[in-house]
Amino acid sequence: MGGILNYWLQYEAPLNIELVEIVFPVVEHSYIPPDRVFGQIEKRYKKVPEVVHPEEYIDIIKEFAKVYKIGNDVVVKDWRSEAQKVLKQPGI
């Protein structure tokens, strides 16, 4: 994660961003909006007796959130090669 953030800060972030703070909340003790959305999705899944096709999962999630398809809506990069551009190798 550090390598990806470092790459983003150096090459893609707006110039006014100098620092990114990463906060890892305590599991099940967070009331942030994504947790509430996951709770709503979970309740909805419990009402469905049987999911036959994977697309049914996506349809339920679409009721509560915007769905992005990897490769179509989101650019996928090789994080190892991108991180090597900005991180020093050990012992160098």
Domain positions in the chain are 2-86
| CA distance linking residue 88 with residue 92, whole number of Å | 7
pLDDT of residue 76: 85
pLDDT of residue 30: 66
Cβ atoms of 41 and 61 closer than 8 Å: yes
| Sequential pLDDT tens for the chain (92 residues) | 788 888 888 888 898 987 888 887 776 666 777 888 888 999 998 998 888 898 999 999 999 999 998 888 988 888 888 888 888 777 76
pLDDT of residue 33: 78
Degrees, nearest 5: CA angle 6-71-36: 75
Q: Is 15 helix (H, G, I), strand (E, B) or coil?
A: coil
| CA distance linking residue 21 with residue 24, whole number of Å | 10
For the entire predicted model, the pTM comes to: 0.51
Cβ atoms of 83 and 4 closer than 8 Å: yes
